[in-house]
């Protein structure tokens, strides 16, 4: 019996790093391929070559966006309150507690609102999309659709991707408003800033640019979540263990990519002065 080969412990980290890089490269290729299929499906829909399954889109919009509004609003409210409380605590040392209004308005609409909404959707709906697609792969429903002459990307993935792209700006706006509401309550209770003063200051601090930045980032983040969830679902290979592993991977990768994308957007908007 030949002896089993064992990797040297000194080179094992480099082997693991190489495998990680190769897997990441494969993921990039898979995401681009899926994006190409979705663009093709959207083009066929836009040119009336193939109809959009409106019932499926509405169902996905309800499941992914509308039912996520309460939890996104609650989380944003709590986070907005915590950030405001800590900000007031620091600004008091400089006698500038009123500046918490400016910081709350900018943070909530430019960064925190859209980021919390995207993370919640990635964890709540991205995992569900991966599990649904993975279950279909296990039951060979994708192959059955192709045999019937139906494009699975057109029938299954496009409605989910469109629901994410169209609906995530709505969730981001709701989250931003909820975070601002939390800021108002804490500023009143903890900072002694009357609501009327907060609102007047908010009118001066708030700009359409801050709102536009959050709304512009949201569709791209929705597309990224949909692509990663779809790719991970397509990787499921005939077992419940594989389904669970890919669902976990989908959530982790989606949250990581969303945070990185938010950072890149922040750098870009700062560079162009927007």
pLDDT per residue of the chain (274 residues) written in tens, 0 to 9: 455 555 566 787 878 888 888 887 887 888 888 888 888 888 888 888 887 788 888 999 999 999 999 999 999 999 999 999 888 888 888 877 888 888 888 888 888 889 999 999 998 888 889 988 888 888 888 778 888 878 888 888 889 999 999 999 999 999 999 999 999 999 888 878 888 888 888 888 888 888 888 888 999 999 999 999 988 888 888 777 888 888 898 999 999 999 999 989 888 888 887 7
Task: Supply the pLDDT for residue 177.
Answer: 92
Rg (CA), the chain: 23
> What is the spatial distance between Cα 143 and Cα 248, in angstroms, rounded to a whole number?
25
Q: Is the pTM of this model over 0.85?
A: yes
> What is the spatial distance between Cα 163 and Cα 218, in angstroms, rounded to a whole number?
12
Task: Supply the pLDDT for residue 168.
Answer: 93
> What is the spatial distance between Cα 231 and Cα 221, in angstroms, rounded to a whole number?
15
Task: Supply the pLDDT for residue 69.
Answer: 92
Sequence-distant (≥ 6) Cβ neighbours of residue 22 within 8 angstroms: none
Is residue 202 exposed (0-12), middle (13-18) or buried (19+ Cβ within 10 Å)? middle
Is residue 116 exposed (0-12), middle (13-18) or buried (19+ Cβ within 10 Å)? buried
CA distances from 33 to 24, 28, 46, 48, 153 (A): 14, 9, 20, 23, 11
Nearest to 229 by CA among 211, 245, 212, 249: 249
């Amino acid at each position: 019996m030949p002896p089993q080969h064992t990797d040297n412990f000194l080179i094992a980290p480099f082997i693991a790093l190489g495998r990680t890089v190769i897997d990441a490269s494969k993921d990039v290729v898979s995401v681009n391929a899926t994006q190409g299929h979705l663009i093709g499906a959207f083009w066929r829909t836009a040119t009336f070559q193939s109809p959009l399954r409106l019932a499926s889109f509405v169902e996905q919009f309800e499941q992914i966006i509308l039912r996520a509004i309460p939890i996104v609003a609650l989380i944003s409210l709590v986070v907005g309150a915590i950030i405001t409380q800590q900000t007031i605590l620091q600004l008091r040392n400089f006698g500038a507690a009123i500046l918490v209004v400016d910081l709350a308005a900018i943070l909530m609409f430019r960064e925190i609102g859209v980021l919390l909404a995207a993370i919640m959707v990635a964890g709540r709906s991205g995992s569900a999309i991966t599990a649904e697609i993975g279950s279909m792969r296990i039951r060979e429903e994708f192959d059955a659709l192709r045999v019937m002459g139906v494009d699975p990307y057109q029938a299954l993935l496009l409605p989910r991707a469109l629901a994410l792209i169209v609906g995530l700006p709505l969730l981001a706006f709701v989250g931003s408003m909820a975070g601002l509401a939390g800021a108002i309550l804490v500023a009143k209770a903890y900072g002694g800033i009357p609501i009327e003063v907060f609102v007047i200051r908010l009118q001066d601090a708030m700009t359409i640019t801050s709102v536009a930045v959050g709304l512009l980032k949201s569709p791209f983040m929705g597309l990224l979540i949909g692509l990663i969830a779809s790719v991970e679902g397509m990787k499921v290979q005939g077992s419940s263990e594989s389904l669970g592993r890919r669902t976990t991977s989908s959530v982790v990768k989606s949250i990581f990519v969303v945070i990185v994308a938010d950072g890149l957007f922040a750098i870009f908007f700062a560079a162009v002065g927007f």
